[in-house]
Chains A and B, each alone.
Chain A
Amino acid sequence: MATSVVHMALFKEEQLDEAAEAIQVLRNLGISDKDISVISGTPFSEKMLGRPMAWTSIPLIGGAGAVVGFLVSVFLNFGTPLLYPIQVGGMGLQTIPTSIVLTFELTMLGLLISTFIGVLVETISPSYGPRGYDARVTDGQIAVLFSSGAELDASLHDALSHLGAEIVHGAEDKKLWP
């Protein structure tokens, strides 16, 4: 079986159209979308690049956190007064109007913290698709990474070069996080 290597086609920041075109060229030459990834220093949507829509579970994780926050608030508002009754000014032990405040705060806290945890978990989780990095990306360049044979096909090389890409053979996957 031929070894698959990650190559990188680097485009200048004003060459977004060419980068999108390059993805189409790669597809035409038989490289599937799962063997292509794009890294950029500026956010470009999948539609701009003609890529399949990404998916994330962050809203779900956030929603779950909100539910947990809500349940904690219900416990604090309605459960703990039974354990630790505090009589204040003739007010009932379990009052709905005052409970709304704590319920709101804890629900939002649950939503926001779990959204962040979702980002954290998804960011440090292993990702699929070709991996590689070039610091020029944060200078605005757009890198199209694709898996191909160790020796890049000449037609592929020509097609990408024709679009103005600088091609890095065997892109290095740097360790960017401890």
Chain B
Amino acid sequence: MAAEVKPIPNAIPSPHAAEEEDLREHLMFDPRPREEMNRMVMDSMTHTTPRYWIVVGILAVLTAVLLYGVWGYMIFTGIGISGERRPNYWGIFIVSLVFWIGISHAGTFVSAILRVFKAEFRRPFTRAAELMTTFGLAAGALWPLIHLGRVWVFYWMIPYPNARWLWPNFRSPLVWDFMAITTYLLSSTIYLYLPLLPDLAMARDRTKGWRHVVYKFLALGWRGTEAEWFRLRKAINIFAIAIIPVMFSVHTIVSWDFAVAQTGGWNSTIFGPYFIIGAILSGVSAVVTILIILRATLKNMDYFIRLEHIDALGKLLLVFSMAWAYFFFNDYMVSWYGGSEVVRTILTFHASGPSAWIWYVMLLCNVAIPWLTLWSKKLRRTPWLMLIVTLGINVGMYFERYTIIPITLGHQRMPFDWGEYTPRLPEISLALGSLCLFMLLYMLASRFIPMVPVWEVREGQEAHQLRKVGKTVVPSVSELE
């Protein structure tokens, strides 16, 4: 094949005008001057409407009342006001913990894995995903504390010599959880911060007053020297590679909270990968939800976040939905085939007991709806539909955890000890409150942190060229590192 390789900087010769128009749809082939992109991102941070502050105010009040108010009330009165009682000692608190830790997997997946594999479409939305990881973990880390009941003694989990002769048991998955979540929270926060340095410097150079002071401090004196870029690349590469196994370990350890117990329906060797796939499915869905909302509400975001990105993530979602279904069926099949009466009873109960609707909604949201919609490019490029599908997946994933935890726990070996779990108002309030906290943190961050890594977008645009092959031009990407 005779291929003439010739970079065409900004435009394609007129015979290819139609192809040029098609390619302009892609952010990488629709470059704008860096100054303009900087201004667009700064505008998105500084442009606030009264509606924004009203929503922030409502979320702040809801967080204060539904989360902290009710939590305070529960601390004062005791954990007995929740619906957790024998045999369901784990309910909404642990369901929400698993849900939020799962959500937090998206940032690492989208940012680190796609970075390592050089998936170019990731560039404009890595930060939105990384922020989700940090705030998801912040929301998730509350739940073990809430579940403790006597939260004021939480520091007993920390290993230090003490007069009580109490010491954490490092052979317990609950202590592994504490270590894994701490490691993941710290490393993902740093992983959010490192690529932010050049953008903080950009913000520092364009602001005055308190914002300037804060950005100046956070930018660490970034100037953009060769040495600084070199260091940044090295550090990001180390983080991108090292944080991936940490991410896998976190949800595996969360799954071991269940799998190492001799509890029917939990004692499964496949729980680790099953939980990881579920976490990625739920996290990537949440990224799509957030991108659609950012695109619709944040100024200038429609330039950076385009239908091509929703489309690409939609394809990923379809793959993860299929993978989740595979692991779900695998777990179900082996447990059912094993012939354990207890497990069979639990599985039958999931599909036909009084809470069966939860099981069916889970399958509908996680399998049926994604499979019926996400195969279609047209549907993947319809934002309102993707919003519904991705919200649905997260409802489905919440219900999956609900099925695994209280419903399974309530129907163990001794039928006389079976019990239905019904979450009470404080638990529902706390769950909604943590959602409000997440949204509040995200909304506030969107006005303070540049939501698009402009330098990464610009780098990507530099790397993309058009290559003339025969009678047509095709996109090509250069390796700039």
* A interface list, Cβ under 8 A from B: 13-14, 37-46, 48-49, 51, 54, 56, 58-59, 62, 76-77, 80-81, 83-84, 86, 88, 91, 95, 98-99, 101-102, 104-106, 108-109, 111-113, 115-116, 118-120, 122-124, 127, 129, 133, 135, 137-140, 176-178
Contact = CB atoms under 8 A, between A and B. Distances in A.
Contacts of B204: 176
A91 B186 CA distance: 31
Nearest to A84: B167
Given A59-B238, A112-B243, A137 B224 contact: yes
B224 A116 contact: no
Interface in B222-260: 222-235, 238-239, 242-243, 245-246, 249, 253
B4 interface: no
A95 B206 CA distance: 56
Contacts of B171: 88, 91, 95, 98
A45 B233 CA distance: 10
Q: Which of A51, A62, A86, A115 has the most CB of B within 10 A?
A: A115
A123 B228 contact: yes
Contacts of B238: 58-59, 62, 111-112, 115
A177 B220 contact: yes
B221 interface: yes
Given A42-B455, A105-B180, A115-B239, A127 B194 contact: no
Interface stretch (B32-40, B138-146, B411-419): B32-40
Closest 4 CB pairs of A and B: A140-B34, A177-B221, A84-B167, A135-B205
B169 A88 contact: yes
B324 to A, nearest CB: 25
A88 B175 CA distance: 14
Q: Which of B183, B186, B204, B233 has the most CB of A within 10 A?
A: B183
B216 A178 contact: yes
A49 B172 CA distance: 54
Contacts of B176: 101-102, 105
B221 A124 contact: yes
Nearest to B202: A138
A57 B230 CA distance: 11
B22 interface: no
Contact of A41 (B175, B193, B224): B224
A117 to B, nearest CB: 10
B309 interface: no
A128 B459 CA distance: 27
B226 A109 contact: no
B117 interface: no
Contacts of A119: 194, 231-232, 235
A37 to B, nearest CB: 6
A40 B230 CA distance: 12
Contacts of A84: 165, 167
A112 B190 contact: yes
Nearest to B459: A42
A45 B428 CA distance: 53
The contact size tier of chain B is: 35 or more
A144 B314 CA distance: 44
A50 B169 CA distance: 56
B167 A80 contact: yes
B229 A43 contact: yes
8 contacts: A80-B159, A91-B171, A108-B242, A108-B245, A111-B242, A112-B239, A116-B190, A129-B225
A140 B458 contact: yes
A142 to B, nearest CB: 9
A119 B460 CA distance: 24
Given A101-B176, A116-B193, A119-B231, 16 more contacts: A14-B9, A54-B231, A58-B234, A62-B238, A80-B159, A86-B167, A102-B175, A112-B190, A115-B238, A116-B194, A123-B228, A133-B223, A137-B223, A137-B224, A138-B202, A139-B38
A123 B218 CA distance: 12
A138 B205 contact: yes
A153 B204 CA distance: 34
B198 interface: yes
A39 B224 contact: yes
B480 interface: yes
Contact of B226 (A37, A95, A120, A138): A37
Contacts of A137: 223-224
Nearest to A87: B169
Interface string B197-220: 010011011100000000011011
A138 B187 contact: no
Contact of B183 (A109, A120, A140, A176): A109
Given A91-B171, A105-B179, A56 B38 contact: no
B170 interface: yes
Contacts of B202: 41, 138
Contacts of B230: 46, 54, 56
Given A88-B171, A176-B223, A177-B221, A118 B235 contact: yes
